[in-house]
Structure formats: structure tokens, C-alpha cells
Structure 1
């Protein structure tokens, strides 16, 4: 098993700590979605429990590796969104789940080795759950490893973050990202990487999903609205029907490109009537709206207000 090119430094550092028997009892793997945090965590857990690891990588054929592959290893626990009593999936991790986890971790390892727990997404814990987890972090059991995964680590309380060894994944250099995308067979790798803001994982996924066409549609919609053509209600319906958060990402990109064009006194992609200051405010509003789509507010009203401001 081999990792992604931008994982190498984190992997080497973590394995060096393992060799010194200095692994932390809690790791926080964080950074933008698409950089392979979950693949990194899976690789690390398998290697940690493997009986015949090679430079930290699992052998793939020992009993532990086979049980992990089958999802039946008794010392590997996963915590994510549970179900409510009515059978509907929760949108947050709740305190009862953390309490059940604490009870389980109080028991001995069945294989007399590490007990490993992954909490994903850790930034979805509600305040009560985070407080309950804090007690476990403050008094960790021997041979217990907690791995928290978070795309938005700032949502976690500082008390949680300060008790974890932080492994933060950053966007790789564009040359590294482009080389990897080309080995993955991504067409228009450079355009895909630009669309994904330099994130190679997202670039690969979005290229497969036709996101480049969607990006062009967003720019055409904004240019038409800026010119007084089209209706915001029609654009809102089309955006809501297909990847609204991604379309807002592309809208923010377009606004940023317009601002850069104004700075160099060249024609921007949108020919917006807004001045630079107004464009900056609108760019911030787009990002706030994208974040608000996660919540209970009506997406159509959020988008309508945003596009009405643009027009």
C-alpha cells in the first residue's frame, strides 16, 4: 500500500514517532476535503495493527489485515453519524455515542494490542459530545488510539484540538498535483486543478463528474445576470438542482477573477457593474451562503438573495 505523493512527509514523521514508541494517544487529521485524509488514516490503522508491517505499511495477509479488510476487527472502532429513534440519520455526533465509546474503551483489547477509534467527521460532534470526549482524551487508556478526522477543524473546541497531535494536510505544489492528475488519466488536468482551487483530489473527482462544464455554466449565468439578461429565479432553480455548493464555489472563483482583472485593468470574465469593493463584499457573501447551505435555512431563498444582489 502506498500513499499519495503529498502524504510522504506526514507518513515519515508519524512512523518515526512510532519507532521511538512516542505515538500520541490522539491524532487530529485535518485539512481540505479531497486530500486523502481518510485513506491516510486507513493505511495508518492497518499498519499499526498489522503483525508484519514494512515501514509502517500493512502486509495485507496477516490475520489482523484480513479482519480489517472484512470490517470485523474487534479492536477497530468507527464513530460517525448515528440514527435517530425514527431511523433517520443524524446530522451530528451526539453525547450518547461518545459515552458508549468510553464504555467500550474501558475494556481490554481482544488482541492484546492497540484499540483504535476513528471519529469521522469529528467536527460534527455537538458541544455535549465534545465535552464527553474531552474526558477520554484527558485520561486515555493504555494502548488506545483516537483518530479524529475533520475538514473544518476550527469547529472543534480548542480543548479538543490542544490534546491531539495535529496532522494538517495542505494543498501540494501545482507541479506535484498536475503530475499526479496526469498519472490518474485526468483530461484537462490543468483546467481541472484550477477549478478545484489547487486541490488534486477534488480536481480528479470533479473532472469525472463534469464539473468543468458546470463551472462554465456558472460564469455564463453570472455574466448574463450582470448584463440584465435572464431571471435570478431561473438560475436559482438550476443551481439548486445540481451541486449548489459547488456552483457557489465557482461563483466565488469568478468574482475573485473579476477582482484580479480590475487590479490589472483588463477585461474580467463577468463584466460586472460592481466596483472592486462591492465585488469583495459579494465574494464574502458567496462563501457565507455556501456555508449556510449546511444548515436549516431554505437554499432557494439564500441563493435568490445572493443573485439579486449580484444583478
Structure 2
């Protein structure tokens, strides 16, 4: 597995605490999607469970390593979205899952080492499940490690955040991100990094998925709607059928560029008739709509309202 260079500082700090026997009982790994939080977590957990680790990294050959790779290690619990009685996947982590986890962690480790519970995404816990987790955080069992992963840690209650050791992943320096993208074989890494807002992980994934073409299509759609040449419902259907959240990211990005170019050059490529303040409002509305797509509201109505206000 390729190790991201912006992980190194966090990795060294954790390994130093491990060598001193001073690891925290709960970690919160947070930061934007695409920076490799989950890769970092997997590397750390494998090393923690390994019978013959080398400088914190797992050997990959011992019993613990083989069981973990197979997803059957008895001392690892993964909590994520469950399934309702009707077979539909839940959109949140519920209190019964956390109660079951607490009961499991109250028992001794089967291998006599660490017991590790991973909650991902932790910011999907509802209020009841977050409250249920507090007792486990306040009264941890010996040799128990709770690892919470969150793209949006502000959604977690302060009571949870204050009881975990926070490891926050930030966007790396532009030069470091470009060098990493080049090492990953990304074509036109500069354009990919710009599209992803400086996030190298997203830039790599989006480049492989053809997202740069999607970004250009979004800008053409916005320019057409601003000029009265496009059909709003047709654009809504296309966006909803193909990565709507990503398209809204690109739409907000395009409008931010429009506002910036208007301030410096007097006009932008989208030729929007919205005044400067309205452009800022639309940018915020696009981000709110992207967030709302994860909820129960109809995506077509959300997009229709947003694009109608743009036109």
C-alpha cells in the first residue's frame, strides 16, 4: 500500500506514544474525504494487532495479520451503517449498535492483546447512540482502543470530541500533493488537483473516474442555463443520474471562479446575470444542497430549486 507523505507526522507521533506505552484509549481520525484516513487507520490497526511488528508496521504473515486481512479477527469490531428489518440500509448509526459494542468490549480479548472497535462514519451516530458511547469512552476497559472516523467531525457532540485524541488530516502543500499525484501516475495532475480543491486523494480518484470531463460539462450546463439556452429539468435529470454530489461540488467551484473573475476582469465565463451578492448566496445554496442530498428529501426537487434560482 502506498503511504501518503502527509501521514508521516501523525504516524511518528502515534508510534512514539506506543513505544512509551502511552497510547490513548480513543482516537478521532478526521478531515476531508480523500486524504487517506481509512488507509492510515488500517495500517495502524494492523500494526497494533500484529505479533511481530516492525517500527509499527505489521508483518503481514502472523496469525493476527492473516485473520485481520480475512476480516475475521476476533478482537476487532467494525460499526457502520446497519440494515433495517425491511432490508433497507440505515442512514445513521443507532443506539442498539453502540449498546452491543459496549457489551462486546466488556469481555476480555480473545488473543490476550488489544481489542479494537472502529466506528465509521462516527459522524453518522444519532444523538442516542452518541450518548450511549459516552459511558464506554469515560470508563474504557483495559487494552481497548476505540477509533472513530469522521469526514465532518463538527457533527459529533462536543462531549464525544473532548474524550478522544484527535488526529486531523489537512490538505498537504501544493508541491507535495503534485509530486504524490505524479508518483501515482495521474495525467495532468495540476488540473486534477485544481478540480479537487487541493485534495490529492480526491484528485487521483476523480482523474481515474473521468471527473474532469464531468466538471467541464457542469460549467457548460451553468453557462447554458444562464443564457436561457438549456432546459432546467433536463439538466436536473442528468445531474441526478450521474454523481449529483460531485456535480454540485463542481457547480459551487465554478460559481466561486465566476465571482472571482468578475471582481478582477468584470465578467466570467458563465455569464451569469446574478449580482455579486447573489452569486455568493448561490454558492452557499449549492453546498447546502449537496449536504441535503444525503437526507430524506427528494434529490430532483432539491436540484430543481437550486438550478431554477440560477437560471
Tell me, yes or no, whether TM beats 0.5: yes
- Alignment TM-score, normalising by the size of structure 2: 0.98
- What's the offset of the Cα at 1:146? 0.2
The aligned counterpart of 1:31 is 31
SS of alignment partner, residue 29 of structure 1: strand
- Structure 1 unaligned runs (5+)? none
Q: 1:151, 1:132 → 2: CA distance? A: 21
Matched-pair contact (CA < 8 Å) for 1:46–1:68: yes
The aligned counterpart of 1:175 is 175
SS of alignment partner, residue 203 of structure 1: helix
Q: 1:28, 1:58 → 2: CA distance? A: 21
Q: 2:231, 2:111 → 1: CA distance? A: 63
2:14 maps to 1:14: yes
Cα RMSD, aligned residues only: 1.0
- What's the offset of the Cα at 1:230? 1.2
- What's the offset of the Cα at 1:265? 2.2
SS of alignment partner, residue 192 of structure 2: helix
- What's the offset of the Cα at 1:262? 1.6
Matched-pair contact (CA < 8 Å) for 1:115–1:143: yes
Any residues of structure 2 matched to 1:1-311 within 5 Å, and which? 3-311=3-311
- What's the offset of the Cα at 1:228? 1.3
- What's the offset of the Cα at 1:137? 0.2
- What's the offset of the Cα at 1:266? 4.7
SS of alignment partner, residue 265 of structure 2: coil
**Per-residue Cα deviation, 1:168-194 (whole angstroms, up to 9, x for no partner):** 011111111111111111111111111
Q: 2:197, 2:44 → 1: CA distance? A: 28
Q: 1:72, 1:241 → 2: CA distance? A: 36
The structure 1 segments of at least 4 consecutive aligned residues displaced by more than 2 Å after TM superposition are none
Matched-pair contact (CA < 8 Å) for 1:254–1:269: no
**Per-residue Cα deviation, 1:243-278 (whole angstroms, up to 9, x for no partner):** 111100000000100111122125412111112111
Q: 1:210, 1:41 → 2: CA distance? A: 28
- Alignment TM-score, normalising by the size of structure 1: 0.98
Q: How many residues align?
A: 311
Q: 1:278, 1:19 → 2: CA distance? A: 55
- What's the offset of the Cα at 1:3? 2.2
Q: 1:82, 1:305 → 2: CA distance? A: 32
Q: 1:35, 1:77 → 2: CA distance? A: 23
> For structure 1, which segment, 249-258 or 179-188, has the greater mean C-alpha deviation from structure 2 after superposition?
179-188
SS of alignment partner, residue 187 of structure 2: coil
